[in-house]
Structure 1
Amino acid sequence: MAKGNKPNHRRFGNIRQLPSGRYQVSYLGPDGRRRTGSETYERKGDAERALTLIEAKMISGEWTDPDRGKVKLKDYAETWISQRPGLRPRTVDLYTWLLKKHITPYLGGVQLGKLSTAMIRQWRADLLGNGVSVSVAAKAYRLLRAVLMTAAEEDHIIPRNPCRIRGAGDEHAQERPVLTVAQVFELADLVGRRPVGNVRKLKDNAYRLRFQRHGEMRTHPEVFRTRADAERALWAMGMDGRADCTQDRRFRALVLLATFASLRWGEVSALRRSDLDLIAGTVRVRAAFVERSTGELVLGPPKSKAGRRTVGIPQAIVPALREHLATYVQDEPGALLFPGAKGGPLRRSGFNTRTRWVDVVKEMGLPGLHFHDLRHTGNMLAAESGAGLKDLMARMGHDNVRAAMIYQHAVRGADKTITDAIDRHISGAGDEDEGGSAAVLIPVG
């Protein structure tokens, strides 16, 4: 019998009438502390029904402490991110940014216990109404749903997760281009094309462009407002033959290997000389670089457990890799396979700038092509080999197959079948009409 109850009175909780005439409930929680209901009731029967519901939740294990529900969403979510196990650095950066940019300004000051589905539906509508993309809104919603799922199911702060909006967390991936083999080799050559010339700043802060044509240096008749404008003009002149060009081949092997071995940027940029075995025709993926929002580069494991893998290399690109090793890579086994300008890790921004990636892919008729689309192209070529799903997942480094299968997977077995199929694609590319095959769009699943 609860403290304060008289014989033949309520078995659970107390009801008292306030000076206003309304009724208020109180009860002992599982920890022995007395709680007072936050609501009052016009009729005593309503108060009795409220106590009955509270008791039923305690019996079923669904009761949540209303005092704990007073914690604000911002504080709880920040703690959730800091304590979440296994989050990769870039995921932490993404969650922190989503919370600060798209969740806290709207819901950060709301107590967890007062969040409702209607409130969250309005929050999402406000995001979309303020111009936030469907993709970013979906990411923010999924983060909020995960945070509140922990609050409901693990910490028992709220009775249930109020994120119950059908389809709010869905993202519909855009179709990404798949390059032909001929386009991959064209791209590998174009990223190393360098027009011969220079840009000089004038006294009036304009820029003068000089370029080489048939071995002779000439001055461009136009004066450019910015250095970037002058550099773009020089690059365009190199592409259409109005300026002489040299060929820097340091990134050629990178493009070919990333494509035909289905490597992520972080994986290919972390490769060492010892990871490449040209005799066996394999590349070993052991680590990956991750660039934080602060600009810090962090070397860690690949994106997933399945990311640690050994992948076969098509023989058709081995000569390019052998040339790269001899020309651009130091002799030490631990030397970076694709170092940056000063010998350190190659950053994606540095790669894009030095290769003029945006201009190159636009010149090829593929504006908006991402580096990651090279991996997508390699995956599609591998899929066309006819190999089974599990072997394909092993090659691609996806973790929706058992990790043990990755280590048991024999490079000379199923993966060699995939590699040989890609080799046939490359070898057959020479039979294609140079102006024929255009990139096709394949949905990314």
Structure 2
Amino acid sequence: MAARRRFGSIRKRESGRYQVRYPGPDGRQRTATDTFARKSDADRYLSMVEAQMMRGEWIDPERARIRLGDYAERWIAQRPGLRPRTVGLYRWLLGKHIVPYLGGVELSRLDTPMIREWRATLLGNGVSETMAAKAYRLLRAVLMTAVNEDELLRKNPCRIPGADQEKPAERPVLTLAQVLKLADLMDERYRALVLVTTFACLRWGEVSALQRQDVDADAGVIRVRQTFTEVRGVGLALGPPKSRAGLRGVSVPAAILPTLRAHLAAFVEDKPDALVFTTPSGRPIWRGNLNKVIAWSAAVGKLGVPGLHFHDLRHTGNTIAARTGASTRDLMARMGHDSAQAAMIYQHATSQADRAIAQAVSDAVKSERKKANKPAAGASGKPKGKVRKRG
């Protein structure tokens, strides 16, 4: 029998639990998603719902009965501005790490303990902290839209401190001498690739998409205006950088310009849209065939830095540039970092500061080359120091 109240009603079911019903703002009766073990709990729930309606904060639980898997798939499809590779990553994370565990759960039933258990299950099944953090960040973004834009939830249940943080292994940073040695270990066709990637702080997609028209080897400037993205099932997709900050001009250290000019003359067609770095047949270099094309592993083995990735060249270049004493703003503009701060830098930073970074790096490269080319003391067979004549 339902107990009469000023707002809503409470009915004890045959199971002994209490069921709650109440009228929504539109006059239609709603039934609470869960039942309650005690009548007092049901009464408090109704008081909370009534207060939410009075404050205009009530959310219809029937709207949140969509399953997480369906909502997340729709979220990915309707998200504006996602790059093809990002869409592929999101769908992979969704299908691999989210839907098998939470895909069938209605949004209204998600809570923080459930999210915490899901994350613990991922880690317990051998998923790395890095991958678990990526999946958690995706789930949090999806549910944030459910809260702020679609108003399906009152609060985001992804509230686990530190769950969004990755802990990747420390990546190696080469010395100047190692960068120059690595370039020398490469086939002549790919020496400039190593030097430009490192000292112009370029991403793989940026350097692989450079065209002749993007390189002014006389002024020493590279214009980053497009990037290659590898899309599963599609192939290489050429498009703009992933952010506004990625569109930039980068000053090239003068010390490596002779190598760049020689590369352009020997290996690049005399057409504006000719790719700067290609395979011997003139085709673009894929990330997947990078090792085979440029013999990366063999060169890294001779260098003596096991586990070095090609992306570590950009990391090295960023580190070397930071050591010049440049400001954070100038460094972010050079590296193409994406943030509100970087957008402001892109609009207002002058090329003078960027040239100063390039000049400082160039001086360091020249100094390193002088040290490498300086003959060791006594190498000529002549005695060291002055020889005194015996009288």
Normalised by the length of structure 2, the TM-score is: 0.88
Aligned partner of 1:165 in structure 2 is 160
Q: Which moved more, 1:74-83 or 1:173-182?
A: 173-182
Report the AA paired with residue 149 of structure 1. Answer: M
Question: Within 5 Å, which residues of 2 pair with 1:102-181?
Answer: 102-181=97-176
Question: Residue 407 and residue 20 in structure 1: after superposition, are their counterparts in 2 closer, same or farther (change >3 A)?
Answer: closer
- SS of the residue aligned with 1:35? strand
- 2:333/2:342 contact within 8 Å kept: no
Equivalents in 2 of 1:30, 1:290: separation in Å? 49
Quote the offset at 1:433 in angstroms.
5.6
Quote the offset at 1:42 in angstroms.
6.9
- 2:285/2:293 contact within 8 Å kept: no
Equivalents in 2 of 1:27, 1:132: separation in Å? 44
Q: Which moved more, 1:13-22 or 1:165-174?
A: 13-22
- SS of the residue aligned with 2:20? strand
Equivalents in 2 of 1:188, 1:398: separation in Å? 26
Equivalents in 1 of 2:314, 2:286: separation in Å? 18
Aligned partner of 2:332 in structure 1 is 393
1:12 aligns with one of 7, 20, 29: 7
Quote the offset at 1:17 in angstroms.
6.2
- SS of the residue aligned with 2:171? strand
- SS of the residue aligned with 1:177? coil
Aligned partner of 2:250 in structure 1 is 311
Aligned partner of 1:64 in structure 2 is 59
Report the AA paired with residue 212 of structure 2. Answer: R
Residue 349 of structure 2 is aligned to residue 409 of structure 1: yes
- 2:18/2:36 contact within 8 Å kept: yes
Aligned partner of 2:298 in structure 1 is 359
Report the AA paired with residue 298 of structure 2. Answer: D
Q: Which moved more, 1:152-161 or 1:88-97?
A: 152-161
Question: Residue 350 and residue 43 in structure 1: after superposition, are their counterparts in 2 closer, same or farther (change >3 A)?
Answer: closer
Quote the offset at 1:142 in angstroms.
1.2
- 1:309/1:395 contact within 8 Å kept: yes
Whose strand proportion is higher, 1 or 2?
Answer: 1
Equivalents in 2 of 1:159, 1:281: separation in Å? 54
Question: Residue 22 and residue 309 in structure 1: after superposition, are their counterparts in 2 closer, same or farther (change >3 A)?
Answer: closer
Residue 29 of structure 2 is aligned to residue 34 of structure 1: yes
What fraction of aligned residue pairs are identical, expressed as a percent? Answer: 58
Computed over aligned residues only, the root mean square deviation of the Cα atoms, in angstroms, reads 2.4
Aligned partner of 1:55 in structure 2 is 50
Equivalents in 1 of 2:196, 2:281: separation in Å? 22
Equivalents in 1 of 2:175, 2:164: separation in Å? 34
Instruction: Extract unaligned runs of 5+ from structure 1.
Output: 1-8, 193-248, 435-445
- SS of the residue aligned with 1:250? helix
Q: Which moved more, 1:356-365 or 1:130-139?
A: 356-365
Question: Residue 340 and residue 86 in structure 1: after superposition, are their counterparts in 2 closer, same or farther (change >3 A)?
Answer: same
- SS of the residue aligned with 1:259? helix
Aligned partner of 2:377 in structure 1 is none
Aligned partner of 2:204 in structure 1 is 265
- 1:284/1:309 contact within 8 Å kept: yes
- 2:332/2:342 contact within 8 Å kept: no
Equivalents in 2 of 1:348, 1:20: separation in Å? 61
C-alpha deviations, 1:335-386, integer Å up to 9, x for none?
Answer: 1111334433221222221222123212211111111111111111111221
- SS of the residue aligned with 1:311? strand
Question: Residue 318 and residue 35 in structure 1: after superposition, are their counterparts in 2 closer, same or farther (change >3 A)?
Answer: same
Equivalents in 1 of 2:9, 2:358: separation in Å? 75
C-alpha deviations, 1:123-161, integer Å up to 9, x for none?
Answer: 111111111111111111111111122222322222322
Equivalents in 1 of 2:99, 2:37: separation in Å? 36
1:337 aligns with one of 268, 276, 286: 276
Question: Within 5 Å, which residues of 2 pair with 1:207-222?
Answer: none
Aligned partner of 2:238 in structure 1 is 299
- SS of the residue aligned with 2:53? helix
Whose helix proportion is higher, 1 or 2?
Answer: 2
2:76 aligns with one of 52, 74, 81: 81
Residue 211 of structure 2 is aligned to residue 282 of structure 1: no
- SS of the residue aligned with 1:27? strand
- SS of the residue aligned with 2:32? strand
- 1:362/1:368 contact within 8 Å kept: no
- SS of the residue aligned with 1:398? coil
Question: Residue 21 and residue 65 in structure 1: after superposition, are their counterparts in 2 closer, same or farther (change >3 A)?
Answer: same
- 2:197/2:203 contact within 8 Å kept: yes
- 2:192/2:259 contact within 8 Å kept: yes
Equivalents in 2 of 1:373, 1:262: separation in Å? 10
Equivalents in 1 of 2:241, 2:289: separation in Å? 21
- SS of the residue aligned with 1:55? helix
Report the AA paired with residue 129 of structure 2. Answer: V
- 2:61/2:108 contact within 8 Å kept: yes
Equivalents in 2 of 1:301, 1:338: separation in Å? 18
Q: Which moved more, 1:152-161 or 1:32-41?
A: 32-41
- SS of the residue aligned with 2:338? coil
- 1:29/1:35 contact within 8 Å kept: yes
Equivalents in 2 of 1:391, 1:66: separation in Å? 49
Residue 36 of structure 2 is aligned to residue 96 of structure 1: no
Equivalents in 1 of 2:105, 2:295: separation in Å? 47
Quote the offset at 1:430 in angstroms.
2.4
- 1:309/1:407 contact within 8 Å kept: no
C-alpha deviations, 1:259-315, integer Å up to 9, x for none?
Answer: 111011110111110111122111111111111133521111113211111111111
Equivalents in 2 of 1:107, 1:121: separation in Å? 12
Normalised by the length of structure 1, the TM-score is: 0.77
